[in-house]
Amino acid sequence: MINNDKDRCDFAPYYTTVAGGRLFRWLDLAKKRVAKRVLSSLPEESQVLDLGSGAAAISASLARLFPHLNFHAADSNESLLEIAKSRGLPTKIVDFDHDLPYASETFDLVLMIDTIEHVECRTETMRQVKRILKSDGRLLVFTPPYDSILWLFGERFFNIITGRPADHICPFTRESLEWLFKRHFAQSKTGYLNFGLTMWGLGEGKTN
């Protein structure tokens, strides 16, 4: 989970407790189904980056299903990246306040799973993502929808159960997510999952 500010929440304990490791993981099943549809269309040896991977539970699982693709994990939390590394993924420390440590046009697909709502500047984040994507590359994002009543109740429940804020400093509605993707990609679409608790966006063919 991307988190560059020392005054913000450390999510490592969340991912290694029963609440984080079990209670809310059912939400990942639908995310994996969408990701599998996108991954299944990638050619062999495609490069896939899980940006803001945390412990990379989803991408490590997907890597086992798609062994012909090359998965990478990147996050600002070293302890979570150690877990990702133990799951077989090459890892890098990243800082969204600086350029991402990858060459331009490296990746065929960038995944941001419950990450983009944690960054301070969505415009700078998108600029960096587009830089490291190939010209026909894709960005697949999962993020909470702040125009969903069910999510707003779900977030309150999360706060009560975990005793911590969600740290969503850059929240999205479907309208704002659609605007972001249409501005930066030639083709894009969005949708809801998990009874309105999750929103997804897919962009393909980056624009200038």
Can you read off the two tokens belonging to residue 49?
């980056």
pLDDT in tens, 13-68: 555 555 555 666 788 999 999 999 999 999 999 999 999 999 999 999 999 999 99
Please tell me the distance from the alpha carbon of residue 154 to that of residue 177, in angstroms, as a whole number.
20
Q: Read off the amino acid at residue 206.
A: K
Q: With contact defined as beta carbons under 8 Å apart, do 157 and 202 qualify?
A: no
More confident residue, 183 or 160: 183
Burial of residue 51 (CB within 10 Å: 0-12, 13-18, 19+) is: buried
Q: What is the pLDDT of residue 159?
A: 73
Model confidence at 109, pLDDT cuts 50, 70, 90, reads: very high
Model confidence at 169, pLDDT cuts 50, 70, 90, reads: confident
Mean pLDDT of 152-174: 80
Which pTM was predicted? 0.88
Q: With contact defined as beta carbons under 8 Å apart, do 4 and 97 qualify?
A: yes
pLDDT in tens, 143-154: 999 999 988 887
Query: For 12-206, which CATH superfamily applies?
Result: Vaccinia Virus protein VP39 (3.40.50.150)
Model confidence at 72, pLDDT cuts 50, 70, 90, reads: very high
CA distances from 57 to 68, 69, 189 (A): 18, 16, 25
Centroid of chain to Cα 127: 16
The strand pair at 185-193 and 107-113 is best described as unpaired
Q: With contact defined as beta carbons under 8 Å apart, do 82 and 52 qualify?
A: no
The strand pair at 107-113 and 91-93 is best described as unpaired
